[in-house]
């Protein structure tokens, strides 16, 4: 029987979950999350690394 092919997305999600390939927050040392932010009056929009614990942002 032939092996069933899986999609590229499925193969990528099967990767090692223990690896961390992001950035660490300079203030608390926690893992930061890449996200897209909408432009506001105080700050410009775009792609940022954001710390979920505080409002620390680093532009990608």
How far the first Cα of the chain sits from its last, in Å, is 46
Per-residue buried b or exposed e for 10-47, using 16+ beta carbons within 10 Å of the residue's own CB? eeeeeeeeeeeeeeebeeeeeebeeeeeeeeeeeeeee
Residues 48-58 have pLDDT tens digits of 888 888 877 78
| pTM recorded for the entire structure | 0.53
What are 12-43's pLDDT values in tens digits? Answer: 666 655 556 678 888 888 888 888 888 887 87
- For residues 56 and 29, the answer to whether their CB atoms sit within 8 Å is no
pLDDT band at 1 (very low <50, low <70, confident <90, very high): low
* pLDDT for 2: 59
């Amino acid at each position: 029987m032939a092996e069933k092919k899986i999609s590229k997305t499925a193969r990528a999600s099967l990767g090692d979950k223990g690896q961390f390939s992001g950035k660490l927050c300079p203030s608390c040392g926690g893992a930061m999350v890449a996200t897209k932010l909408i432009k506001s009056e105080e700050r410009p929009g775009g792609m940022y690394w954001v710390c979920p614990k505080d409002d620390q942002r680093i532009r990608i």
